[in-house]
Structure 1
Amino acid sequence: MAEHKRVPSRRRRLLRAAACAVAALVVLGAGAAGYAYLRLDGNLKSVDIDARLGTARPPAATDGSFNLLVLGSDSRSGGNADLAGGDTGGTARSDTAMVVHVSQDHSRADVVSIPRDTLVPRPECTGPQGKAVPAAKRAMFNSAYEAGGAACAVKTVEQLSGLRMDHYVEVDFNGFARLVDAIGGATVTTTVAIHDKDSGLDLPPGEHHLDGRQALAFVRTRHGVGDGSDLGRIELQKQMVRSLLQQVRGVGLLGNPAKLWSVGDTLTRSITTDSALASVNALVGLAQELKGIGPDGLAMVTLPVTAAPGAPDRVVQRQPQADQLWAALKADRPVPEAVVAAQPRNPAQATPTAPATAPAKAPAKRS
């Protein structure tokens, strides 16, 4: 009877130790993943928009398209107090507002920036302390957030556009600066010098790679470009959005776990969402839905506006272009060519003395 060769006892012990080590790493890895998941989930802040607004809203689309409202708050509380200059009062308004419409097949996104000084009918809302805020026939768009927080801003946009805002994302000054730093900065180009003492931005002509504070100053700048209105600032914000998208695509997060963790931790600490998005799983799901949208599939426009009658430092929707724009998005069609053709020039690519698209100047109280 042939003898079976036995594995030397020392080798057996080594194999057993290796197996135990692998098992331990699996357990520890699962524990670390669980901790990371709970940590990121715990970072998120949310607002229950659906509960606050009830059923008196535009119907949600049933074809797979959806809308997302992105707001940039100019709150100066906490770490925001010494960022981006301007008034550091105790109130907060929606300094930036973008309606993002994602097409039915998720291959295209149309982004509409709403100038903060647009006069709009503001619906009745509920204030932060539960007190009713009466409706207003003509109120600055950004006052909706100040009057009733995120829910009032969403309600105002839905009334203005006729579109259901399926999701909501908000970022403040500090959060934006942290996010830009986490992904490694943003690259912008200007053919003219930009000097804005209020935002602190001081750039000579040329290409610049900005850190978080500089990028915040860039999207906050209006006095140093164009006609000094909010319309010029929106054009800078569009350039920044495109730059950030390119930067994220080039970072290679999936191949760099440490970088992925850093960005994920920063992202979840920097945003406030609606309740449906307030989990890591939901945000990952949203990212999956948006991953097919490349630079060629992104259209960014400013809501067509004109000077408000009797209030030259304010604007109102320009008709019929504004209604045509909202109708196109509601029907899941691209932005009409007439709207695209009438867009203002990017002040970062033009001289500050170029004619303004509309004779609108932002109020002096806030920058």
Structure 2
Amino acid sequence: MIGHDGKTDDDRRVGRRSRVLRAAGLTLAGALVVGVATAGWAYWHLNDNIRSVDINSALGDDRPAKAVVTPSAPASASAALPTGSLNILVLGSDSRSGKANQQLGGGDSSGARSDTAMVVHIDAGRTGATVVSIPRDTLVTRPSCPLSSGGSTPVAHNVMFNSAYSVGGPVCAVKTVESITGVRMDHYVEIDFSGFAKLVDALGGVTVTTDQDIDDDKSHLNLKKGTHHLDGKQALAMARTRHGIGDGSDLGRIGLQQKLVKALLGQIAANDLLTDPAKLYDVTDAVTDSLTTDTGLDSLSELIGLGQSLEGLSATGTKTVMMPVVTAPSDPNRVIAKEPAASRLWDSLR
């Protein structure tokens, strides 16, 4: 039927369909633009979170030799993920800078120290790992360290291990670890109080089993012996607890920290993050927001690449040990490396 406008009913139906299709096309295009823009903003935001220190340039060539890496055969047409062994110095900083850290620790930002120090050795093939805790109360010879402001710190004998971070930051922490272990640190990763707590919360908490009652009025952690599901604040309190267990030394705290490391690995494995983009973003934001790395890990793509290369690593394939120590002859409240056991351990990680 021809109407007053000279168009048939079929013409009008075609016109309506065209307008609907155009509207749908514009809506889809708009959604794609918003989606791409959102993804781009998220990547920029997460990438911008990461802070880094150029440790390689600062330390130069006066370091232990790098481990020999044997290239792996490509598993597909795409570039193969690296499979060589790695040594990563992981520090938990007790920095009080920022409101979140002050609420969790209190104090002033000038007193930042390496509250927790672990050398994470990832085996060739990257399906097994050894996490070696270094007690912060260990007496060491701290080497001369370059300062970002120019000059260097003096060599210091018989000083606490965690003083390296206090006087020279990440660069001195790495140099001191390499000096006492003879092992090259391929990477450096540091996370502060609030970052650790936010990571645990983003993962939905962690489940740990304690072998004894814990009652520490300094970390404000009170737990009965048994299994507990902890939120971020509680997990951080456990990582800092030492007065409510054992003899109140750093050695008891290390045992709790190692329980947390395994619990976190298990929780990460239990969360299939790749199928839950919102949770993946929350976890990544929590990690990167309080992260300082060396320049080899200072981008989201580099961190993702490292994570992908560790997909075969699990809690059961991870050993946790402490550097062998004995009470220091000069101070019953300090420890020194127990030889030759400590040297044998470090030799096994080269």
Instruction: Confirm or deny a common fold (TM above 0.5).
Output: yes
Aligned to 1:201: 221
2:67 pairs with 46, 61, 74, which one? 61
CA 1:277–1:202 in 2, change beyond 3 Å: closer, same or farther?
same
Contact 1:179–1:270 (Cα < 8 Å) also in 2: no
User: How far did residue 59 of structure 1 move?
Assistant: 1.7
CA distance in 1 between partners of 2:146 and 2:61 (Å) = 15
1:288-327 → structure 2 map (5 Å cutoff): 288-327=308-347
Q: Deviations over 1:264-317 (max 9, x none)?
A: 122110111111111110110110111110122111100011111222211111
1:56-95 → structure 2 map (5 Å cutoff): 56-63=62-69, 64-79=84-99, 80-84=101-105, 90-95=110-115
User: How far did residue 163 of structure 1 move?
Assistant: 1.1
Identity of aligned residues (%): 54
Contact 2:59–2:146 (Cα < 8 Å) also in 1: no
SS of residue paired to 2:201: helix
How much is the aligned-residue C-alpha RMSD, in angstroms? 1.8
1:228 pairs with 227, 235, 248, which one? 248
Q: Deviations over 1:103-149 (max 9, x none)?
A: 11111111100000111111101345434210112221101000100
User: How far did residue 183 of structure 1 move?
Assistant: 1.4
CA distance in 2 between partners of 1:183 and 1:97 (Å) = 22
Aligned to 1:40: 46
CA distance in 2 between partners of 1:171 and 1:205 (Å) = 28
2:276 pairs with 242, 247, 256, which one? 256
1:10-49 → structure 2 map (5 Å cutoff): 10-49=16-55
Select the structure of larger CA radius of gyration. Answer: 2
CA distance in 2 between partners of 1:128 and 1:82 (Å) = 29
Contact 2:94–2:105 (Cα < 8 Å) also in 1: no
Specify the code of the residue in structure 2 equivalent to 1:209. Answer: H
Contact 1:40–1:268 (Cα < 8 Å) also in 2: yes
Specify the code of the residue in structure 2 equivalent to 1:16. Answer: R
Superposition TM-score, scaled by structure 2 size? 0.88
User: How far did residue 84 of structure 1 move?
Assistant: 4.3
User: How far did residue 13 of structure 1 move?
Assistant: 2.8
1:9 pairs with 9, 15, 23, which one? 15
User: How far did residue 89 of structure 1 move?
Assistant: 7.5
User: How far did residue 42 of structure 1 move?
Assistant: 1.0
Superposition TM-score, scaled by structure 1 size? 0.84
Q: Deviations over 1:319-355 (max 9, x none)?
A: 111111111111xxxxxxxxxxxxxxxxxxxxxxxxx
SS of residue paired to 2:195: helix
Specify the code of the residue in structure 2 equivalent to 1:66. Answer: L
Q: Deviations over 1:162-217 (max 9, x none)?
A: 11111111011122112111211111122422100111111122221111111111
Specify the code of the residue in structure 1 equivalent to 2:157. Answer: K
Q: Deviations over 1:211-265 (max 9, x none)?
A: 1111111010001111211111000000011111111222222111111112212
Compare 76-85 and 220-229 and name the one that shifted more.
Answer: 76-85
Contact 2:120–2:130 (Cα < 8 Å) also in 1: yes
Aligned to 2:169: 149
Runs of 4 or more consecutive aligned structure 1 residues displaced over 4 Å after TM superposition = none
